[in-house]
Amino acid sequence: MTRSIRLVGVSKTKNGNKILDNVTLTIPSGEFFALLGPSGCGKTTLLRLIAGLESVDAGKIYLGEVDITHMPVHKRKINIVFQNYALFPHLDVYDNIAYSLSITGMHEDEIDRRVFKLLKAFHLDKLVDKKPSELSGGQQQRVAIARAIINEPEVLLLDEPLAALDYKLREKMLIELIELQDKLLTTFVYVTHDQFEALTVADHMCIMDPEGGIAQFGTPKQIYEFPDSTFVAKFVGNTNLFHGRLGKKGDATLFHASDLGTFTVECTPQKLELIESDNAIMSIRPEKIFISKKSVENFSNTLKGIVNSIVYTGRSTLYEVLLKNGKKIQVFEQNEEHFPQVNIDYDDEVFLSWQKENVVMLKE
């Protein structure tokens, strides 16, 4: 069985610092959920409250319909994998994984069966009698996760579980975690400050702001393509922000960026109402902009600029283009060909073009 986790108006203060401020959030049951936010915004604190390792100052926590706000840790079927794994150093791999079953008095044969099933699934079966200190980071991580799922929790909380691993291994472990969650259908709550990890694993995710509140909840695609605020637009991915004035002309919505001209944009009526017309921000992601040496037709908007820097990263190239008002714009291009037909060089004059439906309008 899996149930959703619901936080209602949860606040937490430590040593006079408000760490979580009136957090209301539903983590859907059976999902891979990611909690993304900058370091120090209160992610670990939020997990510890859900696990019952710390208590709330205000608010309620529900597992399904059950109020677990004051339920002791061992009664919640919620396990946590800590950032530093926190394995028992004196126990071998087998005993680390078996621990939570052995204290229940379960029959040894049954423990054996369950532990070996996980050892196999996690490719740890050759390491049964190793101590944590004899394992690599990736192996310790697998033991920590195996230990946390052996007693079949309803919810698994993972606090930056891959932070200590190198890039390649992290990518591999992310895929393993996604497959594991698919198989178990246990609710996973995955905490990270790494946007790539969150976007990769999450069915739904939420962004925490530096003040310990919730900035936005949604699917990775909703968050990335339709950020609600400049904070989310900047924190998840890169973006170019323009300040200006928003207005209607007939059916068209226009954005006037004071010293750059007027652009056509798209904006829902609800949003148009929300944004103060004199203090609007247009956000356009680097990959939504097309860069070319000749002007091209069929784009809603075009700007001219001078190439200021070029960073080749293999699969893509990042251009920084200087506009006439001194603003710098970032543009990503996929490197689709070994030898592109037209090479773009430093100091070249270029055209930057984008479609109106690819911008996001935000409040100041």
Ligand X SMILES: Nc1ncnc2c1ncn2[C@@H]1O[C@H](COP(=O)(O)OP(=O)(O)O)[C@@H](O)[C@H]1O
Chain residues binding ligand X by CB under 6 A are 14-15, 17, 19, 37, 39-45
Q: Is the CB of 15 or the CB of 313 nearer to ligand X?
A: 15
In whole angstroms, give the CA distance from residue 102 to residue 65: 30
Helix (H, G, I), strand (E, B) or coil at 222: helix
Which of the ranges 37-45, 68-76, 248-256, 266-274 carries the binding residues for Mg ion, by CB under 5 A? 37-45
Q: Is the CB of 119 or the CB of 199 nearer to ligand X?
A: 199
Q: Is the CB of 132 or the CB of 212 nearer to ligand X?
A: 212
Of 205, 149, 249, the closest CA to residue 36 belongs to 205
Which of the ranges 38-46, 103-111, 182-190, 334-342 carries the binding residues for Mg ion, by CB under 5 A? 38-46
Helix (H, G, I), strand (E, B) or coil at 60: strand
> Bridge partners of 205?
34, 218
Residue number with the shortest CB distance to Mg ion?
44
In whole angstroms, give the CA distance from residue 91 to residue 107: 20
Q: Is the CB of 39 or the CB of 341 nearer to ligand X?
A: 39
14 contact choice in Mg ion, ligand X, none (CB below 5 to 8 Å, kind-dependent): ligand X
Q: Is the CB of 3 or the CB of 43 nearer to Mg ion?
A: 43
Q: Is the dihedral of CA 224, 179, 186, 61 positive or negative?
A: negative
The DSSP bridge pattern shows strands 204-208 and 252-257 to be unpaired
41 contact choice in ligand X, Mg ion, none (CB below 5 to 8 Å, kind-dependent): ligand X
Q: How far is the CB of 162 from ligand X (least distance, A)?
A: 15
Q: How far is the CB of 37 from Mg ion (least distance, A)?
A: 9
Mention every residue, 6+ apart, whose C-beta is less than 8 A from residue 187: 2, 3, 4, 5, 27, 28, 29, 30, 31, 33, 154, 155, 156
Q: How far is the CB of 196 from ligand X (least distance, A)?
A: 17
- Residue 44 touches Mg ion, criterion: CB under 5 A: yes
Residues that bind Mg ion (CB under 5 A): 43-44
